[in-house]
Structure 1
Amino acid sequence: MIALSLAEIAEIVGGDLRPAAGHDPASIVTGVVDTDSRQMAAGGIFVAKPGEHTDGHRFVGAALENGAVLAIVERPVDDEISQIVVADVIDAIAELARAVVARVRAAGDLRIVGVTGSNGKTTTKNFLARILQDEGETVAPIASYNNEVGAPLTMLRITDGTRYLVCEFGASAPGEIARLAGLVNPDVVIELMVGLAHAGGFGGIEETARAKAELIEAAAPGGTAILNLDDARVAGMAPLAERRGLRIVGFGQGSAADVRAAGIDVTASGTSCTVHVDDQALPLRLQVLGAHHVNNALAAIAATRALGVAPADAIARLETVPLAERWRMQPMGGSEVRIINDAYNASPDSMAAALRTLAQITGPGERTVAVLGAMSELGETAGDEHDRIGLLAVRLNIQRIVVVGAEARRLFLAAVGEGSWDGEAVHLPDADAAFEYLQGELRPGDRVLVKSSNSAGLRFLGDRLGESFS
């Protein structure tokens, strides 16, 4: 974080400063800001966030031992650490992030990119960070730090020398993107796609589209909107972007796109295509698996082009990215049994894309095995969407469909109803039972996809299988 005094921080967050013995309100703090006491280092600021299962106030002492010099709390604690008492620590770090970003922006050349979409945010964020880090100091979210806690913590990692800040904005209800993006008003905003992820929280896909469009509303005046023209709901955001005075850059696979992909080819070793931009035809060879990642790459190329990076340079950097993120189309296992662990999260769109990738990368003499768990937060559409994925798996000729958990049972029943019987589809109660089954079922030549929402926990099953068959 940038250098601020205890008194300045207290004023920004509207809190009551209670300096520890020997601490002056003018003392300067520059350390990391985090809600995890284990991540503290010398000079850190610990945010004592109350949670469902524990309370951060219990860990102020641990944060102090690990080097924290300040705690932002909702009630005073007895530990020998300076404290700022606020009504709500989440609101406090949001206001602190707003102020820090504004100061760095006013004093330097900070440019901010904001990314949203039902799928692909984290991969695109990582692509952006890889491209921009060669241009100057770049701060981007760790993992999927895209909510009311993670987004401000990412913003607070900037320094006076930061040139680029990449923000990922997720949401499970209307108004969340507006609040978070409004803290920084990005110069470039990326709209990836509108799908059914978190549809239960929004009340439907049209409401989801309106929520995603909040990022365009929050863009800085004179900024750029990067829109996926392959998605009708995203393309429909163009009039809003025009009203906001934003420059519009389209990406996708259609002829109207400013940054366009053609000739997409997916193999077990990566994904290739030709990128058409600025009257150039540039080959792109991603190490990342899956045709669905091509649009993520196009979005990153388009956004960084708006920031002055030549597309050829962006492509060269993208080709060095070995993995989208842990548990996202992550190759594991060995030469005989290959595992793709894509179980960090799942929506109907990402589940379908992963299944298609599994079918595309499996060659003659090899067998497709899909280990599938529940897709969460789909609301009243959950049953129909699990049915649809079960049907798709059969129609893609996935040869073994292993469904895990009671919440995914509809997927299994749909697969059986579509013709996956005689042991081709099985339903197992939990990850342990699935691991035991797969230990005896998998054989050389199998390509195995593990896919579910985070809550189903199958990412750890994928890890176990990857280690077992390495």
Structure 2
Amino acid sequence: MVPMSVETIAQAVSGRLVLPSSQDASALGIAAVSDSRQISEGSVFVAIKGERVDGHDFVPSVAQAGAVAAIVDHPVDGARVAQIVVDDTVAALGALAAHNIAMRKAMDEPFDIVGLTGSVGKTTTKDLLSALLERVGKTVAPVGSFNNEIGLPLTALKVDRDTRFFVAEMGANHLGEIANLTRIAPPEVAIVLKVGVAHLGEFGSRQIVAQAKSEIVRGLVPGGIAVLNADDEYAAAMADIAPGEVRWFGIDHTDAAHTVSATDITMDERDRAGFVMRTPDGETPVRLGISGRHNVMNALAAASVALHFGMSPAEIAETLGTQRRISPHRMAVSQVTRGAAEFTLIDDSFNANPDSMKAGLDGLASWGAGKPLYRVAVLGAMLELGDDGPDLHAQVGSYAASLGVDALIAVGGAGDGDLDALAEALANGAKKERSDARGGKGSIDLVSDIDRADRLVSDMAAAHPDVVVLLKGSHASGLSALAERWTAGTNNR
């Protein structure tokens, strides 16, 4: 964060400053902003009301953790910190982040914001791009998937006078959300990865999803660069609204100028892609360090931006090849031991939608490059799909069965009727595919919670010598908790 006085912060958020007796506002300098999870010395604490916890309850005690001020929507009795009273603390957080970004942009040293959005691949692309840009200059990027009206401002407030790049992941649950994020952090470069069916229950159609994602292109600074997926018709159409140059990445549609593309894609036994990266500067071989064929597109998007900022294709290939670990629960590979049973875990349990589910299943099917492995898909429910949810779950189940996985375990919500129904639709889709195919191998199980899934996988691993397990589902399914149970004390590979 660019250092500010508490008075400057109050002005930036249009707040009213309330001081404890005998405290001098001019003596209070702020070097960081935090929520209740990470209060640091000399920070301003933002009190946010959540569904279960109200941050205002922490205000009386934040001074003990080092905070010197708090942004609140009402004065809190007994607090020994300066309080900045605003109408809406989330809006104030955004205003403060915007002020911090504006202060950094006003400095003479180069500073660029790269915004990225898409229905799938945002966080992985963010991780890859951050690793690339860090070779050019100090880069700030969110931890995990901080991409909403709270997460993005908190990350933007980590930008300081020495920051060269801010990689801003931007997600959306409704129209106008990305537009608001671009007002906080107006990007010089905007990446659109893919327009899929995530959050279909909120938006209603893929066309409206595309409208929401296009807000990142409309939010570019004048003359900003749009980096678009040439293989996605909805993303590609955003070239018409780009305020400046358009750069492309893709596999199928690679005839446009300023395109970064991949040819000759191969997969190794750990499902890591190798390919020839074609750029305007020539061809370079790449071998990704992370698993998943779908990550070729994410790597191409990141490479497009890195090329723009002066990295050579050889530097890009080297960096992409050294990235072994990305944000947690995203195609993270571990060797798990459960009693006498052992298996390889592909943990992609952070979140899920139909596109990412199919990508994860493709990775499971190709794992081991044709070796006789026993492949198990442990799948949870996908959320925010609206009335199409049951049908989309059935389609995923059918797809899993069509790939010939040896076992499918559909996991419900431990008594949550909605999650149970979606898991049942997934299992039924797999059963129908097996029936229509008049046979097919493998088992299909429907379980109500992760404990039963744990027992089933342990039994399968004990009964078969070479087992590989994919975990994939929305956060509410609890599969990430199962992954943490399995990987406690192990090292990701």
Q: Normalized against structure 1, the TM-score is what? A: 0.96
Task: Answer with 218-227 or 418-427: which moved more.
Answer: 418-427
Structure-2 change in CA distance of 1:59 and 1:268 (3 Å): farther
Contact 2:28–2:68 (Cα < 8 Å) also in 1: no
CA distance, structure 1, for counterparts of residue 126 and residue 428 of structure 2: 37
CA distance, structure 2, for counterparts of residue 289 and residue 208 of structure 1: 28
Amino acid at match of 1:33: V
Structure-2 change in CA distance of 1:469 and 1:317 (3 Å): closer
Question: Which residue of structure 2 aligns with residue 359 of structure 1?
Answer: 365
Deviation at 1:361, TM superposition (A): 1.1
Amino acid at match of 2:477: A
Matches within 5 A, 1:35-54: 35-36=35-36, 38-54=37-53
Matches within 5 A, 1:451-466: 451-466=472-487
Name which of 289, 292, 308 aligns with 2:291: 289
Name which of 419, 428, 434 aligns with 2:434: 419
CA distance, structure 1, for counterparts of residue 490 and residue 403 of structure 2: 25
**Partner secondary structure for residue 371 of structure 1:** strand
Q: Percent same amino acid at aligned positions?
A: 39
Amino acid at match of 2:395: R
Contact 1:169–1:177 (Cα < 8 Å) also in 2: yes
Structure-2 change in CA distance of 1:62 and 1:311 (3 Å): farther
Deviation at 1:197, TM superposition (A): 0.8
| Structure 1: gaps of 5 or more residues | none
Matches within 5 A, 1:339-378: 339-362=345-368, 363-378=370-385
Contact 1:128–1:300 (Cα < 8 Å) also in 2: yes
Question: Which residue of structure 1 aligns with residue 416 of structure 2?
Answer: none
Structure-2 change in CA distance of 1:59 and 1:272 (3 Å): same
Matches within 5 A, 1:168-183: 168-183=169-184
Contact 2:61–2:79 (Cα < 8 Å) also in 1: no
**Partner secondary structure for residue 190 of structure 2:** strand
Name which of 393, 401, 408 aligns with 2:423: 408
**Partner secondary structure for residue 319 of structure 1:** helix
**Partner secondary structure for residue 287 of structure 1:** strand
Superposed CA deviations along residues 101-145 of structure 1, whole A, max 9, x for unmatched, are: 011111131111000000111011111110111211111011111
Matches within 5 A, 1:30-429: 30-36=30-36, 38-77=37-76, 78-107=78-107, 108-241=109-242, 244=243, 246-253=244-251, 254-256=253-255, 258-269=259-270, 270-334=272-336, 336-362=342-368, 363-405=370-412, 406=420, 407-419=422-434, 424-429=443-448
CA distance, structure 1, for counterparts of residue 490 and residue 409 of structure 2: 17
Deviation at 1:181, TM superposition (A): 1.1
Deviation at 1:455, TM superposition (A): 1.3
Task: Quote the RMSD (CA, aligned, Å).
Answer: 1.7
CA distance, structure 2, for counterparts of residue 149 and residue 303 of structure 1: 26
| Structure 2: gaps of 5 or more residues | 413-419
Superposed CA deviations along residues 344-387 of structure 1, whole A, max 9, x for unmatched, are: 00010000000011111133221111000101111111111111
Matched length: 466
Q: Normalized against structure 2, the TM-score is what? A: 0.91
Structure 1 runs of 4+ with >6 Å offset: 420-423
Question: Which residue of structure 2 aligns with residue 8 of structure 1?
Answer: 8
Amino acid at match of 1:97: A
Superposed CA deviations along residues 131-190 of structure 1, whole A, max 9, x for unmatched, are: 111211111011111000000111111111111111000010000000111222100000
CA distance, structure 2, for counterparts of residue 320 and residue 423 of structure 1: 36
Amino acid at match of 1:377: E
